[in-house]
Amino acid sequence: MAHTLPQPRTVRAAAALRGTIAVPGDKSISHRSLMLSALAVGESRVEGLLEGEDVLATAAAMRAMGADIVRQDDGVWVIHGVGVGGPLQPETALDMGNSGTSTRLLMGLVASHPITATFIGDASLSKRPMGRVIEPLSQMGAEFQDTPGGRLPLMVRGISPAVPIRYTLPVASAQVKSAILLAGLNTPGETTVIEPIATRDHSERMLAGFGAELTVTPSPEGKVITIRGQAELKPQNIVVPGDPSSAAFWLVAGSIVPGADVTITNVGMNPTRTGIIEALKMMGADITELDARTVGGEPVADLRVRHAPLSAIEVPPELTPSMIDEYPVLFVAAAFATGTTIARGAEELRVKESDRITAMADALGACGVRCEEFEDGMAVTGTGGEPIPGGATIATLLDHRIAMSMTIAALNARDPITLDDAAPVATSYPIFFDTLEKLGAMA
């Protein structure tokens, strides 16, 4: 799945952005719908699946472990699962491409089965630390052979029966939580995760929907999530809502481009994912929620955003877990605000597909934006709504969110901005540039 040749792309300022668009299916929900459907007994159907490279890596891995996964001509994915306890020994290494979610969650799935799997990935994924997952899964009895630093390539030797554990998350990570819960599915007894700081709860919602015996209770320690293992998952029909992380690019674009008026349909509004909307509204963004409803057990709404003057804020730290992936584009919004926006408590950004703090500080700085980098975040001084200078070539560092965020920045820049490689966008949003052109911009 590695990109062989860079795909440079130059983006120019947009006169206006207008129209109604849909964003791809939620990436987090798409990954989990494939994994849990593959562990159910019978036929599941998934509509609206994100067909980006990250999710396709998950589909390929589940096929390698015995699930029958087919995309129909109408875009619906049909999965015949192997049942909890049924995954087979993969014959070759599992290529995760650029997908940290696929890697960490599937490490959990493999950990409690009597199979051995080798995980490989591209240059970016191979730099990302996996120790935070290795540690609890080792407590459950799985064995690991990893590259120094807890990185890929990495081999997991699962065990059955695994040992149930009670584990308090040392960092706010939905991926670590989900890996432990997936391992707990095939572990006798009760496996418990304590979450001192709440993270996205798609795993809990979906596990319960598939019939797992799962409880979520508040406590002085935090949220306590307990799963009883060796359950039989029931097949489901799933409708994946639009990804709020993808919608965030258009919410910022609509806010910073004069004359913009954009409506984004069917956006997932899970409260563990809406931090970016709250932050932008605090800055003065004109965002209206329309037709709030529930689809497939998840709250959704249409979002209308119109150009509005933005003001700097100090981002409340409690919003960080619900918008960690949206910080790069929030920094772009800050570049057009009046005053200096300060974001702290986001050190997790340093271990994403790239070091997103340094990557965005370098990218915005090259385009004439004043940034001050902290170990756990950044301060960005905005233009008060005026165009940024632009004119730079940006190192996207194999990171889809850096590429898309700087594309949005270019929409209100005096001089065009060039991405050294736009190819990583395909990992999460294959139609991103097509959507940009639909709204009236040229890229």
By DSSP bridging, strand 261-268 and strand 286-295 are unpaired
Count of Cβ atoms closer than 10 Å to residue 231 Cβ: 18
Count of Cβ atoms closer than 10 Å to residue 258 Cβ: 12
The pLDDT assigned to 297 comes to: 79
Q: Which residues pair with 110 in a beta bridge?
A: none
What is the per-residue pLDDT across 44-61, written as a single tens digit (0 to 9) for each?
999 999 999 999 999 999
Task: State how far the Cα of 268 lies from the Cα of 21, in Å rounded to an integer.
Answer: 14
Q: Does 164 reside within a domain? A: yes
Shared-domain flag, residues 202 and 249: no
In the numeric block, which tokens belong to residue 273? 């994912």
The pLDDT assigned to 35 comes to: 98
Q: Average pLDDT of 254-268?
A: 97
- To the question of pTM greater than 0.85 for the whole model, the response is yes
Mean pLDDT across the chain: 96
Task: State how far the Cα of 16 lies from the Cα of 213, in Å rounded to an integer.
Answer: 50
Contact residues for 135 (Cβ-Cβ < 8 A; gap 6+): none
The pLDDT assigned to 443 comes to: 61
Helix H or strand E segment including 37: helix 27-39
Local structure of 154: helix, strand or coil: strand
Banded model confidence at residue 295, pLDDT cuts 50, 70, 90: confident
Identify residue 256 by its one-letter amino acid code: I
The pLDDT assigned to 190 comes to: 98
| CATH number of the domain where residue 133 is located | 3.65.10.10
Q: Does 3 reside within a domain? A: no
Shared-domain flag, residues 311 and 429: yes
The pLDDT assigned to 296 comes to: 74
Query: Is residue 311 predicted with pLDDT exceeding 80?
Result: yes
Residue after which a domain boundary falls, among 229, 258, 277: 229
Residue after which a domain boundary falls, among 186, 208, 229: 229
CA 285 to chain centre: 23
- Binding site for phosphoenolpyruvate: residue ranges? 27, 100, 128, 175, 356, 401
Query: Could you say which of 26, 201, 302, 325 is catalytic?
Result: 325
What is the SS3 assignment for 54-120?
Answer: HHHHHHHHHHHCCCEEEECCCCCEEEECCCCCCCCCCCCCEECCCCHHHHHHHHHHHHCCCCEEEEE
Query: Is residue 3 predicted with pLDDT exceeding 80?
Result: no
What is the per-residue pLDDT across 34-43, written as a single tens digit (0 to 9) for each?
999 999 999 9
Shared-domain flag, residues 186 and 270: no
Shared-domain flag, residues 252 and 317: yes
- How many CA atoms are closer than 13 Å to the CA of 98, on its beta-carbon side? 21
Contact residues for 397 (Cβ-Cβ < 8 A; gap 6+): 124, 353, 354, 359
The pLDDT assigned to 139 comes to: 98
- Binding site: residue ranges? 27-28, 32, 100, 128, 173, 175, 325, 352, 356, 401
Residue after which a domain boundary falls, among 163, 194, 229: 229
Identify residue 278 by its one-letter amino acid code: E
Count of Cβ atoms closer than 10 Å to residue 74 Cβ: 6
For a pLDDT cut of 90, what percent of the chain falls above it? Answer: 95
What is the per-residue pLDDT across 367-386, written as a single tens digit (0 to 9) for each?
999 999 999 999 999 999 99
Q: Average pLDDT of 71-86?
A: 97
In the numeric block, which tokens belong to residue 434? 């097509």
Query: Is residue 1 predicted with pLDDT exceeding 90?
Result: no
Shared-domain flag, residues 210 and 250: no
Count of Cβ atoms closer than 10 Å to residue 8 Cβ: 14
- What string of DSSP letters covers 97-112? TT-HHHHHHHHHHHHT
Shared-domain flag, residues 119 and 103: yes
What is the per-residue pLDDT across 206-238, written as a single tens digit (0 to 9) for each?
999 999 999 999 999 999 999 999 989 999 999
Identify residue 422 by its one-letter amino acid code: A
- Binding site for 3-phosphoshikimate: residue ranges? 27-28, 32, 173, 175, 325, 352
Query: Is residue 2 predicted with pLDDT exceeding 80?
Result: no
- How many CA atoms are closer than 13 Å to the CA of 212, on its beta-carbon side? 32
Helix H or strand E segment including 238: strand 237-239
What is the per-residue pLDDT across 90-128, written as a single tens digit (0 to 9) for each?
999 999 999 999 999 999 999 999 999 999 999 999 999
89 lies in which domain range?
27-229
- The verdict on whether 95 is a catalytic residue reads no
The pLDDT assigned to 441 comes to: 84
Shared-domain flag, residues 328 and 428: yes
Query: Is residue 442 predicted with pLDDT exceeding 80?
Result: no
What is the per-residue pLDDT across 8-26, written as a single tens digit (0 to 9) for each?
999 999 988 999 999 999 9
Banded model confidence at residue 4, pLDDT cuts 50, 70, 90: low
